């Protein structure tokens, strides 16, 4: 029996952690790469094998079901993990069929035992008989199967796109969700410069750089916390809040839901240049710890707290600027969090939407008259965007909707105009992976009269 190679073992461990511990692929991958001492091409192979397998799980399960006479639900979970990994090597990566099949057999023998090795060999040989396009044709695959998204997500994204005038773009959006995203870095102003980061400038954020490859943590600026890994869409959220015009003082800023801390760290750097103070709040202890790590060494007067954002401990009107980066379904970030498409359910909106509304209501109380609140989600779902903001505006005659779209311009200090970013309410912004190369961030600027 051959020993499974470290790259495939690492990918298998990632799938197992996602399945058994509700782990996040992007968080567990670095640990596994370190555990098996993978770098360079081996690390890239393991990363694509794990992430790509999870992204295309729905497609591969439909193909596997056609290649076996037993229900997939009756297949042992570890065996199914190996079959999915084998499918991605055969149909989504340039791995020779004999190598993909033999290494999968070695892996199942190592992780499960010799019993299912014949089954894995037989099923993957059937899979290898056709390429992916042929399989999709043979299965007469619908859009959900073709692009490996649950049907309810396809419907929610289609509705959101239609509201943004892109009703014919759903295939492009779903395809973008399945494309491995580039690693984007952020230079925190006053602490580092984009020139210190290896790569090309991002199209919109003046502090963003698309990584040239390799381990970002090996860059001194990232290792020292003077820069970080952050999607350009998330950078634009922090920049929009910092760029919004307000009346009067500009000394106290609040990030109400700060975990894991990327936006708070960028806000802290921007605020320090103005002598302002940032309060970074996060209720969940494990996320609060991530915030503390992100803010380690930040310049300026900064405070991290652990409080319930829906019942905050501060007096009304205590802040000049407030960011509400609300907990959401995350359907705008499926490129980076591939497991979310299988983990989220439609009923999640029943708990998330009331929480989003409560957080936004609290934020509008916490900002002083003349100040600004930026509400953001990494989801384009209308229940989490248009409906949350619209509900508040109906209830509050002292709150008005500002023009977040106007902040997406060079006048506001950004690198260039962001095209085709109109959101579902006039003045709001909706970014899209297929249009902008960012996560699908929604932004709404609100002002206290």
Per residue in 69-110, pLDDT (tens digit) is: 989 999 999 999 999 999 999 999 999 999 999 999 999 999
Q: Please say if the pLDDT value at position 382 is more than 90.
A: yes
Per residue in 417-440, pLDDT (tens digit) is: 888 999 999 999 999 999 999 999
Per residue in 208-245, pLDDT (tens digit) is: 999 988 888 889 999 999 999 999 999 999 999 999 99
The stretch 315-343 carries a mean pLDDT of: 96
- Total domains in the chain come to 2
Domain range for residue 323? 230-448
**Which residue, of 84, 111, 141, is where some domain finishes?**
141
Is residue 155, in this structure, part of any structural domain at all?
A: no
Is residue 118, in this structure, part of any structural domain at all?
A: yes
Is 118 found in the same domain as 252? no
pLDDT at 1: 59
**Which residue, of 141, 158, 180, is where some domain finishes?**
141
CB 203: neighbour CB atoms within 10 A? 17
Is 265 found in the same domain as 131? no
pLDDT at 413: 59
Query: Tell me, what CATH number does 315's domain have?
Result: 3.40.50.150
> Using CA atoms in the order 352, 355, 357, 363, what is the torsion angle rounded to 10 degrees?
-130
Is residue 217, in this structure, part of any structural domain at all?
A: no
pTM: 0.94
pLDDT at 411: 47
pLDDT at 86: 98
Per residue in 40-55, pLDDT (tens digit) is: 899 999 999 999 999 9
Is residue 350, in this structure, part of any structural domain at all?
A: yes
Q: Please say if the pLDDT value at position 300 is more than 60.
A: no
pLDDT at 25: 94
The stretch 155-183 carries a mean pLDDT of: 94
Query: Tell me, what CATH number does 81's domain have?
Result: 1.10.940.10
Is 370 found in the same domain as 248? yes
Is residue 169, in this structure, part of any structural domain at all?
A: no
Clarify whether 87 is annotated catalytic.
Answer: no
- Which of 286-293's residues contact partners 24+ apart within 8 Å by CB, and which partners? 287/258, 287/259, 287/260, 288/258, 288/259, 290/259, 290/260, 290/261, 291/258, 291/259, 291/260, 291/261, 291/264, 292/261, 293/261
**Which residue, of 103, 126, 141, is where some domain finishes?**
141
Mean pLDDT of the chain: 93
Q: Please say if the pLDDT value at position 33 is more than 60.
A: yes
> Which of the following is catalytic: 87, 257, 328, 378?
378
């Amino acid at each position: 029996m051959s020993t499974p190679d470290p790259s495939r073992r690492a990918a298998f461990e990632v799938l197992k952690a996602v399945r058994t511990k509700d782990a996040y692929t992007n968080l567990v991958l670095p640990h596994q790469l370190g555990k098996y001492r993978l770098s360079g091409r081996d690390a890239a192979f393991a990363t694509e094998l794990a992430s790509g397998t999870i992204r295309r799980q729905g497609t591969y399960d439909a193909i596997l079901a056609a290649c076996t006479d037993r229900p997939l639900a009756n297949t042992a979970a570890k065996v199914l993990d190996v079959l999915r990994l084998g499918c991605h090597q055969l149909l989504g990566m340039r791995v020779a069929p004999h190598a993909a099949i033999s290494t999968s057999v070695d892996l199942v023998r190592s992780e499960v035992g010799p019993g299912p090795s014949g089954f894995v060999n037989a099923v993957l040989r059937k899979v290898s008989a056709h390429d992916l396009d042929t399989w999709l044709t043979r299965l007469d695959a619908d859009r959900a199967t073709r692009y490996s998204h649950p049907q309810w997500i396809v419907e929610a994204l289609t509705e959101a796109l239609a509201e943004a005038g892109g009703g014919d773009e759903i295939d492009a959006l779903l395809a973008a969700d399945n494309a491995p995203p580039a690693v984007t870095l952020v230079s925190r102003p006053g602490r580092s410069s984009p020139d210190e980061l290896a790569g090309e400038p991002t199209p919109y954020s003046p502090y963003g750089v698309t990584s040239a490859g390799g381990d970002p943590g090996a860059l001194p600026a990232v290792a020292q916390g003077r820069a970080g890994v952050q999607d350009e869409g998330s950078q634009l959220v922090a920049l929009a809040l910092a760029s919004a015009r307000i009346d009067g003082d500009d000394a106290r800023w609040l990030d109400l839901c700060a975990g894991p801390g990327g936006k708070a760290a960028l806000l802290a750097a921007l605020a320090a240049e103005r002598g302002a103070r940032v309060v970074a709040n996060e209720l969940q202890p494990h996320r609060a710890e991530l915030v503390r790590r992100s803010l380690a060494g930040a310049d300026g007067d900064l405070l991290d707290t652990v409080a319930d954002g829906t019942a905050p401990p501060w007096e009304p009107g205590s802040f000049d600027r407030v960011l509400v980066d609300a907990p959401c379904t995350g359907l705008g970030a499926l490129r980076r969090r591939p497991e979310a498409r299988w983990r989220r359910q439609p009923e999640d909106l029943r708990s998330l939407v009331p929480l989003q509304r409560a957080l936004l209501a609290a934020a509008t109380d916490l900002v002083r008259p003349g100040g600004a609140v930026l509400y953001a989600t990494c989801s384009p779902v209308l229940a989490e965007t248009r409906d949350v903001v619209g509900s508040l505006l109906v209830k509050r005659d002292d709150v008005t909707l500002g023009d977040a779209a106007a902040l997406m311009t060079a006048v506001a200090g950004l690198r260039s105009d962001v095209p085709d970013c109109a959101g579902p309410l006039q003045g709001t912004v909706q970014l899209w992976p297929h249009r902008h190369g960012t996560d699908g961030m929604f932004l709404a600027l609100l002002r206290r009269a």
